[in-house]
Amino acid sequence: MDMRTPLGKVRGLGSAKSGTEHFWKVRTTSVALVPLLLFYLGFLVMYAGRPYADVISALSNPFIATINALTIIASIVHMRLGMEEILQDYIHSEKMKLALLILNSFFSLLVGGLCLFAALKIAF
């Protein structure tokens, strides 16, 4: 039994077949961020008020630097996916939506690149 309207059948509009993938990417990054951010809360508590050199020394530890990079990547991907969902839901002009989706991708790439550069500069 087909639930689409006759106009929907003629136009062939329906599911884009990517909703489930998008859903799981958002959920996966959310779950990944929970332990990563809990680690950072602990790190902040441990190093609050400590001298600059101690904090930089701790951040240059390979384990901490890896956690730092993973947190940055997961956060940026989660941010991009969340904003993409908001833009698709609330922007109705197709040209504006396309422009904002492109800007969202470039902004995420720029912020992620700058954050990873800073983390790698501290690590090395």
CA-CA distances (angstroms) from residue 95 to 6, 11, 50, 83, 92? 27, 20, 50, 17, 9
Q: Please state the domain extents for the chain.
A: 20-123
The DSSP result for 7-26, as a single string, is HHHHHT----S-HHHHHHHH
Query: CA Rg, the chain, in Å?
Result: 20
Nearest to 52, CA basis, from 122, 115, 121, 120: 122
Please give the average per-residue pLDDT across 48-61, as a whole number: 96
**CA gap 84, 58 in Å, rounded:** 35
Average pLDDT, the chain: 91
Task: With cut-offs at 50, 70 and 90, classify the pLDDT of residue 27.
Answer: very high
Within a 10 A sphere around the Cβ of 115, how many other Cβ atoms? 17
Take residue 52 and report the two structure tokens written for it.
């600059």
Reply yes or no on domain 20-123 having CATH 1.20.1300.10: yes
The string of pLDDT tens digits covering residues 70-96 is 999 999 999 999 999 999 999 999 999
Residue 14 has pLDDT above 60, yes or no: no
Whether residue 63 is predicted with pLDDT greater than 90 in this model: the reply is: yes
Give the pLDDT confidence score for residue 108 in this predicted structure: 98
User: What percent of the chain is predicted at pLDDT more than 70?
Assistant: 86
Residue 3: per-residue pLDDT: 65
Residue 9, pLDDT score: 63
pLDDT at 28: 96
CA distance 20 to 39: 29
Mean pLDDT to the nearest integer, 46-53: 96
